A and B are shown apart, each in its own frame.
Chain A
Amino acid sequence: MDRNTANSSPPTAAISLRDLRVSYGEREILHGITFDVATGETLVILGGSGSGKSTLLRTLVGLEKPTSGQVWIQGKDIAAISQAELDQIRKKTGMSFQGGALFGSMTVGENVALPLREHTKLEDSTIEIMLRLKLEQVGLAGFEYHMPSQLSGGMKKRAAVARALAMDPEILFFDEPSAGLDPIIAAGIDQLILELKRAFRMTIVVVTHELASAFLIADRMVLIDKGNIVAIGTTQEMRSSVQPRVRQFLDRVPEPDVEGELDYLQTLTEEYRRHG
């Protein structure tokens, strides 16, 4: 993608993807993704396993480099900027990982305080107050001296959200916030996301395959399948969509088993050629 074309002036949306392509080695995972996320909007990226939605999220936070295309975060193409500039943007974004990704050797409080200690020159006492505040926001007040291993799955996720909130980010990313949690705890996490959205007007991007949670928290949704956008629109538009692939996903219709003998044979031989 030519970066100097007339239409490549920095978009004003919080996040803009332009013809984003990402490959692992020879295999292309994302085949040209283009969409915008407006400031203050909650966008849910939906998709099945292997659809490329996690790769998309990893690219959005700069963990994967696109092979082509642009990822504009707050007016900067993060694929084209230096590490120092990327770090500046990362300080204004937060990411909550699927398993929490809390540091096992540190207490919950130290985990939440880590970005503050690394990036600010705040006094220890101020940091202490801030981390209590963040823990309270996610409903974990009083847990600052626990080790992550002492927390349940839902609490770990809440602690991870507290850590992602530590630097008061403008954009928050969630990777599968309700995966592996029981329905009640998962609903609690959804509620937490809704509260963050209401209270701080944050731009929020959530990757999930949980439909109920997606419809609850989303302003708009993107459905990704095999590395392509199938549909994009508001929750209403998605619900009333007649596109077969959207219907199949939303109505939870299983994939047909046999794809035709010839296709099946071809998949087999391709597998063989690839792996020997």
Chain B
Amino acid sequence: MEFVSQIGASVTNGLAYLGSLAALGGRAAYYGFVGPFQGKPPRLRSAFSQAMDVGVRALPILSLITFFIGLILALQSAYELSKLGALNFVARAVALSMTRELGPLITAIVVIGRSGSAFAAEIGTMKVTEEIDALETMAISPIHFLVTPKFLAMIVMLPCLTIWANTMGILGGALFGVTQADFTFRRYIQTSIESLYLRDIASGLIKSVMFGATITAVGCLEGLMTGGGAEQVGRSTTRAVVMSILLVVVVDLVFTGVFFFVGNP
């Protein structure tokens, strides 16, 4: 009986958590998109500097990782395709799996590691040092001040990073194609482009926008829920990373499912 009630309690907690996430994301979006029409513009300067942090500074590491992922994908698919004598399908396989799935997902995971954790640490530290309370007593909404700029930066930068990741992945695949599979570089790229439909790229980008919103909401919520002392900040940061990865995969599954059933001709 205790077991059942424990399950019940975790389900309730889980739903409450999702509710808080939705509420936080909703309010951040409200300040971002409705606020400007009510004379309360978002703090764009802060959003730009966040975008630099989240986006531009992530490029080197993201490029490296996705280039390798593209190369790995090519090797793995070649393993099976060579048995069928269809090595020229490697370009297709890499292009499709990068744009539809791995580009957005790997980007999200890199951004979780770099920025989702940083959001939780930054806001958590501010919570512990009473800076969040200070904002409230100055009649400044912490969500408008802190969360909305991050939110805007993320939903803009994640799709941009994803496009970059897709490109780097395809280039990684090309390294294999050119050296091992009788492609010329030109023909490899051409085959990749021809094998992609707009909906492949678009579905990946839509997912990446959702990933961006999810990562921001989780990182900021974990930061805002930080209680007690400095050691709690570390715990919040860890939780932010774990929960973000979990929720990004769940969101990925939901959207992939929707695209599969709705979008398939």
Which residues on A are within 8 Å of B, measured CB to CB?
Answer: 58, 61-63, 86-88, 90-91, 93-95, 97-99, 101-104, 114-115, 118-119, 163, 167, 173
Give 16 CB contacts A-B under 8 Å: A87-B139, A88-B139, A91-B139, A95-B137, A99-B130, A101-B130, A101-B133, A101-B134, A102-B131, A103-B126, A103-B131, A118-B138, A118-B140, A119-B139, A163-B138, A167-B138
**Besides A91-B139, A173-B137, 4 new A-B residue pairs in contact (Cβ under 8 A), listed by A number:** A88-B139, A99-B129, A101-B130, A103-B131
Which residues on B are within 8 Å of A, measured CB to CB?
Answer: 126, 129-131, 133-134, 136-140
CA–CA, A98 and B138, complex, Å = 16
B137–A114 CB distance below 8 A = no
Residue of B nearest to A58 (CB): B133
A97–B139 CB distance below 8 A = no
B138–A97 CB distance below 8 A = no
B139–A90 CB distance below 8 A = yes
CA–CA, A163 and B140, complex, Å = 13
What residues on B are CB-neighbors of A99 within 8 Å?
A: 129-130
What residues on A are CB-neighbors of B137 within 8 Å?
A: 61-63, 90, 93-95, 173
CA–CA, A94 and B136, complex, Å = 11
B140–A97 CB distance below 8 A = no
CA–CA, A88 and B138, complex, Å = 10
CA–CA, A272 and B129, complex, Å = 31
CA–CA, A104 and B131, complex, Å = 9
B131–A98 CB distance below 8 A = no
B138–A90 CB distance below 8 A = yes
B139–A101 CB distance below 8 A = no
What residues on A are CB-neighbors of B130 within 8 Å?
A: 97-99, 101
A95–B139 CB distance below 8 A = no
A101–B131 CB distance below 8 A = yes
What residues on B are CB-neighbors of A114 within 8 Å?
A: 138, 140
CA–CA, A87 and B131, complex, Å = 17
